[in-house]
Amino acid sequence: MLWIDAIIQGILLGGLYAQYAIGMSLMFGVMRIVNIAHGDLVVLLALTGISMAAAWGFGPGFLILLLVPIGALVGWALQRVVLNKLVGDDPLPSLIATFGLSIALQNAMLGIWSADTRSLNAGALASKSFEIGGMYIGLLPILVFLTAVVLTWGLSVVLNVTKFGRALRAAAADKDAATLSGINTKSVYAQATAVAVGILGIAAVFQATRTTIAPSDGGGQLIYAFEAVIIGGMGSIWGAFLGAMVLGIAQVVGSRIDPGWGILVGHLVFLIVLAWRPQGIMSRK
């Protein structure tokens, strides 16, 4: 029963990681943009939401409605102003640019919010749980997981069915050919980054309600998103979701073996998958 509970809790934790990962998968796996500031954007949105809640008393649901468009606007501006000039076959320019953005964001957040940790009060939702067969499953983690499923499914449908999704995949496959076909690649990339960062607005609220947030936490969120994308396979939205589940289960099972092993076991699983199947679980060679 202990290990069944560990697997369930790992899947629920993976729901939070999936919300980081699907945006990363869209940028890294589809557009070949390495956004080192991905985790810092989560922290920025989370701290913004916490400040809004403290100033005006907004609840988590209303904060999601505010932070998603704010995140989308930030993503659109980032792509339009910076990343569109760097998109190409070589991911190094975008990596360097977003690394500089990450450092700038961390210092700006330290100046505004200081290094203190903060969290978002979710009220009774944070403590409510259900007992199933002697196991207690929290309502908030269930909502996080179900939201991740809906987001993953929705993004997958958008990429495979809609005109925007086809244009994005065409631009990612061959930017010059897509331009000759009449696709405005800069506009498509800006919309895609807006979607990716907008999703982080949802992840930011859930992150702030489940644990504490500090300006220096962005690196950890980036690593989890990156590992989930690599485990699942670059370019696969459902692969990123699966990778997040694997990572979450590995961390929880590791923490049950020894409290200090949780994150370490997750990193080890990532390295094992990288050595065994570098293209990821759901990608072809």
Residue-wise pLDDT for 50-101, tens only, equals: 999 999 989 899 999 999 999 999 999 999 888 888 776 677 888 888 999 9
**Segments forming the whole domain that contains residue 172:** 8-276
50 and 165 in contact (C-beta within 8 Å)?
A: no
Does any domain span residue 283? no
Cα 228–Cα 49–Cα 188 angle in degrees, nearest 5: 55
Does any domain span residue 281? no
Does any domain span residue 22? yes
145 pLDDT band, cuts 50/70/90, is very high
pLDDT of residue 89: 66
Does any domain span residue 12? yes
Q: pLDDT tens digits, residue range 95-119?
A: 888 999 999 999 999 999 998 899 9
Domain count of the fold of the chain = 1
Does any domain span residue 167? yes
Torsion 285-224-75-90 (CA) sign: negative
Does any domain span residue 165? yes
* Distance, CA of 117 to CA of 213 (rounded, Å): 5
* Distance, CA of 40 to CA of 81 (rounded, Å): 18
* Distance, CA of 268 to CA of 285 (rounded, Å): 22
Q: Which two tokens stand for residue 178?
A: 């897509």
267 and 250 in contact (C-beta within 8 Å)?
A: no
43 pLDDT band, cuts 50/70/90, is very high
CATH number where 111 lies: 1.10.3470
Which is higher by pLDDT, 27 or 195?
Answer: 195
227 pLDDT band, cuts 50/70/90, is very high
* Distance, CA of 158 to CA of 141 (rounded, Å): 26
pLDDT of residue 148: 96
pLDDT at 29 over 70: no
200 pLDDT band, cuts 50/70/90, is very high
What does R_g of the chain's alpha carbons equal in angstroms? 19
Residues near 277 by beta carbon (within 8 Å), at least 6 away in sequence: none
Q: What is the pTM of this model?
A: 0.92
pLDDT at 251 over 90: yes
Does any domain span residue 282? no
